[in-house]
With several copies, the nearest count.
Chain A
C-alpha cells in the first residue's frame, strides 16, 4: 500500500487530522474507524466526512452510544490484527469507557505480551462555553494509568505526524485533539518523516534565557502570545511545547532550566494531580539545584467548567494570567 504523505501549506488543525486518518487508512488496510456518527455524517466535527464513501462501511463504522463496548470491541480486534481508531464524540465521554481503557487495554501488553494497537481520538478542552461535560482536560487520569501513551499536539504539523505515528504504534494511544484549535490553528505540512512509534518529544518553540515555560495543546498558543508580551518588557521566555506527554522527554526541559533557572508550567486541566504536578515533581527532584525559584503552575482551578463564557474565561489561564505567573516566578 502507498505510504503517501500530505504536503500542503497552511493546513487547519482539523484538516491535518483528516489527512492523517485518510493517509494512514490508504496505507494500511487494517486501520478501521469506529465512533458515533463518524460514517455518513462524518463525525460531530466532520473530520471523517467522505471516509464512508472511500473506505466503505466495514472500515468506517458508526457505533451505538456505548463507549465501553466500543473500546472493548476495538481492543479485541486490535489483539487480533486490526488497528482501530476510535473517535470519542467529546473527550469527556471517555469516563464511560474508563475501565476498558485503564484495565483491559492499558494492562494487556504487560500482562500477556499481546499488543493492542489502538488509538482513541479525544476532542477535548474548553474555551467555547460548552459547559462541564464538553470542556474537560482529563489527560492526567491516563498518565496515572500505566500502559497508555498520551499525545496532545498544539500544531497542525505535529497533529498530522503524531496521529499517523499513534496509529502505527503497537500500544494504546490516547490522542487529545483540542477543539479550540480545530479551526484556528494552521501550519504547513512539510512531509516530516513519520515514526512508527510515539516517542517522547519536548520541542523548543521559542528560545529565551529568563524562564522556561512548559505547556501543550491550546495553552502553548497562549504561552507563545504571552511570550511576545514579555519580550516587549525585555524578558525572554523559552517556550517548550510537549506534543507527547507520555512517554515524557525530560532532557530538553532540564537543559533549558539549566540556562533559565526558572520554570512555569501552564495547563488547562484542573490543578490537583494534573500533569503539572508530575512535571514540577520531576523538575524539583532532578534540577532543584539549578532552580532560582519554585516551579510555578498556572492552571485551571479545581472546578468544573462553567457554561457562561465569562465564568469560563475567568478560569482558563489567560495571556495576562500567564504573564503574571511568570512575573511572580521571576521575582521570587
Chain B
C-alpha cells in the first residue's frame, strides 16, 4: 500500500491550519506587504458586502459571496504580473480586483508615499475597469459581456497593458484545461509568462481536474492551480467529496509540486505562490496549491445551505475571518491603528458604493437576438 504523505492536513475542523510565519524574503518589507494585502482584501470585502446587500433588497437576483476568500485570492494575484494570465472562478473577486486595479490611484492616501508594492501594477484606467466590473455584475451594456453573461462569466483582455483575464463558465472543472491552455500558449511563444487558475475543493472531483493537471504536468506547462478549499461544496462536506487526507497530495499522482497552505494568511499564501510562479517561469512545470479558507456564507446568498455546516465548524471559520486576522496582526505589530483601519474601510466602502450606484444608473442592453455566434 502506498505511504500517505507526511504532512497531511488537520481534518476539517472549524479552525484553519496554524498560521505560518511570513516568508523570509518579505521580512524587511513585511509592513508594506501587510498593508498592500490588507488594502485589496478590504476593497474585496466591501465589494462583496455591497452586493450581498443588493441581493437582500432584491436589486440583484443571485450572488456568490467571496467573503472569507480574500486573503487567498488577493495574495495569489499579487504573485502575477503584466502578461500573465488570470483565470478566475466564482469566489475570486480578490484576485480580479488585485489584478485590475491600482488601489492607490483610486484612494491615493491609502499607502504611505514611500511604500513599495509587491509587484509593479498594470497600466491603464483602474477606475474604468472597476466601473465596468460593476456594470458586468449588474448585466449592464457597459459590462464586459454587454449583459450577455452573468457576473464573473466573462473575459477581459487589454493587450496593450498585458491584462489577460479569462472568466469562468458554470461547468465546474472546465476552466482548468483552458487555463492550462493559456499556459501552453506561453510555452509555445517561448515567453516566461504563467497562468493561474482557481477551483473549489468540490470541483476537484471532476474529470477535467484530472485531465487538465495530468497534461499540464506531462507538458511542464507554466500553470498554477489554486484550490480554494472551504470544506463545503454547496451543501456537501469534504467527507462526501473525497477520501484523501488532503488534496495537495493529488500532486504526487501527477508528478507535480503540491503545497498545502493556510489561505487565511496572505503572507504565507503569497510566499507559496511566489515559489510556484518562480517554478513555472523557470520551466519546472505546474504547481497545485491547496489553500484552506473558511466557509462564511451560504453557497449563494439567500439559500439555506449554511444550515448543513455544524455550528462549531462555522464558529471556527468566523473566528478566523482573514480580515480580522490581518487587521489584528497589523494593529498588534503597530503598523496601523484601529482608527486608520476604519478609515480605510470607509474609503473602500464609499468607492464601491459610488461605482456600483453609477453602474446601476447605466442602461441595460437592447434586444439583439442576432448577436453573432461566430467571429467574422
Contact = CB atoms under 8 A, between A and B. Distances in A.
Q: Give yes or no for direct A-B contact (beta carbon below 8 Å).
A: yes
Contacts of A149: 374
Contacts of A96: 171, 173, 206-207
A64 B242 contact: yes
Contact of B150 (A93, A114, A303, A307): A307
A41 B300 CA distance: 13
Nearest to B185: A80
B30 interface: no
A194 interface: no
Nearest to A306: B148
Nearest to B305: A41
A79 B181 contact: yes
Contacts of A302: 373
Nearest to A106: B373
B308 A40 contact: yes
A311 interface: yes
Interface stretch (A65-73, A156-164, A224-232, A235-243): A65-73
A99 interface: yes
Assign chain A's interface to a size class.
Answer: 35 or more
Contact of A170 (B150, B364, B375): B375
A39 B218 CA distance: 15
Nearest to A301: B369
A58 interface: yes
A314 B367 contact: yes
User: Which among A41, A130, A307 has the greatest number of chain B C-beta atoms within 10 A?
Assistant: A307
Contact of B365 (A108, A303, A311): A311
Interface in A124-183: 128-134, 146-147, 149, 170-171
Interface in A285-332: 301-304, 306-311, 314-315
B148 to A, nearest CB: 5
Given A58-B188, A129-B61, A310-B365, A65 B169 contact: no
B169 A104 contact: yes
Contacts of A26: none
A76 interface: yes
A204 interface: no
B184 A62 contact: no
A226 B166 CA distance: 42
B147 to A, nearest CB: 4
Contacts of B177: 68-73, 75-76, 100
A274 to B, nearest CB: 15
A81 interface: yes
B235 A37 contact: yes
Contact of B374 (A30, A61, A77, A171): A171
Contacts of A32: 188
A125 B186 CA distance: 36
B180 interface: yes
Contacts of B308: 40-41
Interface in B146-195: 147-150, 153-155, 157, 164, 166-167, 169-189, 195
Contacts of A112: 144-145, 149, 154-155, 167
Interface string A26-42: 00001010001101110
Interface residues of B, number: 75
B174 A77 contact: no
A311 B242 contact: no
B258 interface: no
Contact of B178 (A40, A59, A73, A110): A73
B149 A92 contact: no
Contacts of B153: 111, 131-133, 307
Interface stretch (B208-216, B311-319, B325-333): B208-216
A95 interface: yes
B28 interface: no
B118 to A, nearest CB: 25
B368 interface: yes
B205 interface: yes
B344 to A, nearest CB: 33
A233 to B, nearest CB: 26
Which among B180, B184, B215 has the greatest number of chain A C-beta atoms within 10 A? B184
A180 to B, nearest CB: 14
A134 B175 CA distance: 17
Interface of B: 61, 85, 87, 139, 144-145, 147-150, 153-155, 157, 164, 166-167, 169-189, 195, 202-203, 205-208, 210-212, 214-216, 218-219, 233-236, 240-242, 304-305, 307-308, 364-365, 367-375
Given A58-B188, A76-B184, A104-B175, 9 more contacts: A37-B236, A72-B212, A76-B179, A77-B181, A79-B155, A100-B178, A111-B155, A112-B149, A133-B169
30 contacts: A37-B235, A39-B240, A40-B235, A41-B235, A61-B219, A62-B240, A63-B215, A65-B241, A73-B180, A74-B181, A75-B181, A77-B182, A77-B184, A77-B185, A81-B185, A103-B174, A107-B169, A109-B373, A110-B373, A112-B145, A112-B167, A128-B61, A133-B169, A133-B171, A301-B370, A303-B369, A303-B371, A304-B373, A307-B148, A308-B147
